[in-house]
């Protein structure tokens, strides 16, 4: 287990959200923003660029990486605006490239103030989504911090009441 320092002077509990373009992501963002606001915590948003399709010719690879970076920045900007409109919290922004689950765990290890990962469960018939499934089914309770799963069907008002 990673030792957290959120109780030390000058440190705040961070609620971490992983951004993507799924409809349910907004629910996790709103919940984390409201929860951070209500508890005096802060918020960190992570966007992971998955590098899988960049292994082409050098020129094509550079263009694809630039496009992926632009998309990451656009999604990040959209959710920063959403947080600012929802709560009095200024989210920290992190964009990384790699395997999503690995980058999440690396960031949690690096930042001892991250105390809770907030994800939203999708409403698809296939299940709650790959990240939720991956972390919930991790063997032996080995995930280093608590995981909050927000139902995608909650309204802003319901989230505000629960957070």
Q: Does the residue 82 lie in any domain?
A: yes
Q: Does the residue 36 lie in any domain?
A: yes
Q: Does the residue 3 lie in any domain?
A: no
Q: What letter would DSSP give residue 49? A: E
Which of 8, 42, 26, 27 is CA-nearest to residue 114? 42
Structure tokens at 34: 């409201």
91-109 pLDDT, tens digit per residue, is 999 999 999 999 999 999 9
What does the mean pLDDT of the chain come to? 87
Helical spans, DSSP H, in 4-148: 25-39, 58-86, 100-110, 130-136
Q: Does the residue 9 lie in any domain?
A: no
Q: Does the residue 4 lie in any domain?
A: no
Strands of the 42-49 sheet, one edge to the other: 92-97, 42-49, 14-19, 114-121, 147-151
- Number of domains forming the structure of the chain: 1
Q: Is the pLDDT of residue 125 over 60?
A: yes
The rounded percent of the chain whose pLDDT value lies above 90 is: 64
Q: Does the residue 2 lie in any domain?
A: no
Q: Is the pLDDT of residue 54 over 70?
A: no
Domain hosting 23: range is 14-162
Per-residue pLDDT, 100: 92
CATH for 90:
3.40.50.620
Residues 6 or more apart from 41 whose CB is under 8 A from it? Answer: 12, 13, 14, 15, 35, 115
Of 55 and 147, more confident: 147
């Amino acid at each position: 287990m990673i030792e957290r320092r959120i109780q030390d002077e000058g440190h705040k509990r961070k609620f971490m959200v992983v951004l993507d373009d799924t409809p349910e992501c907004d629910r996790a963002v709103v919940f984390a923003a409201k929860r951070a606001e209500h508890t005096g915590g802060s918020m960190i948003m992570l966007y992971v660029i998955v590098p899988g399709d960049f292994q082409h010719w050098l020129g094509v690879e550079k263009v694809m990486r630039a496009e992926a970076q632009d998309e990451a920045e656009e999604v990040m900007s959209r959710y920063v605006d959403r947080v600012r409109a929802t709560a009095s919290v200024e989210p920290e922004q992190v964009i990384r490239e790699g395997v999503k689950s690995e980058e999440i765990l690396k960031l949690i290890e690096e930042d001892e103030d991250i105390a809770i990962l907030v994800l939203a469960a999708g409403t698809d018939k296939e299940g709650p989504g790959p990240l939720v499934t991956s972390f919930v089914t991790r063997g032996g309770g080995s995930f280093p911090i608590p995981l909050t799963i927000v139902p995608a069907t909650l309204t802003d008002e319901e989230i505000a009441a629960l957070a």
